[in-house]
């Protein structure tokens, strides 16, 4: 049976850190993260079932936060967020997974 491993955790955390450290643009992060999460959700469901509840909750929250991210203030609805809010939420969720990180 597949399980969520340290390697899987590192795949998610590495992408998140690249964004938080501004090594990749927000649009790149958005595309890569959404694709990564969907891949785990759709193709690795057994792994997701084994995912630590904290990890699953945090990574899911990042996915849904990306879903309400809108970079254009002229087109942004009340429920949508800007990049500063996105970055803050992503950071908070990563710290739930890796509380000892200094970002």
The string of pLDDT tens digits covering residues 23-73 is 999 999 999 999 999 888 777 655 555 566 777 789 999 999 999 999 999
Report which DSSP code applies to 51.
Answer: S
CA dist 90 and 103 (Å) reads 11
CA dist 26 and 18 (Å) reads 10
pTM above 0.75, yes or no: yes
Query: CATH code for 6-97?
Result: 1.20.120.650
Instruction: Give domain limits for the chain.
Output: 6-97
CA dist 54 and 47 (Å) reads 14
- For residue 18 the two structure tokens come to 């690249």
Largest CA distance in the chain: 48
């Amino acid at each position: 049976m597949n399980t969520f491993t340290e390697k899987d955790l590192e795949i998610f955390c590495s992408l998140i850190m690249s964004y938080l450290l501004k090594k990749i643009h927000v649009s790149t992060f958005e595309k890569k993260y959404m694709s990564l999460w969907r891949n785990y959700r759709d193709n690795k469901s057994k792994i997701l079932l084994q995912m630590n509840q904290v990890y699953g909750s945090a990574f899911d929250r990042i996915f849904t936060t990306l879903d309400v991210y809108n970079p254009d203030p002229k087109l942004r609805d009340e429920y949508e967020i800007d990049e500063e809010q996105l970055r803050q939420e992503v950071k908070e969720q990563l710290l739930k997974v890796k509380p000892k990180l200094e970002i």
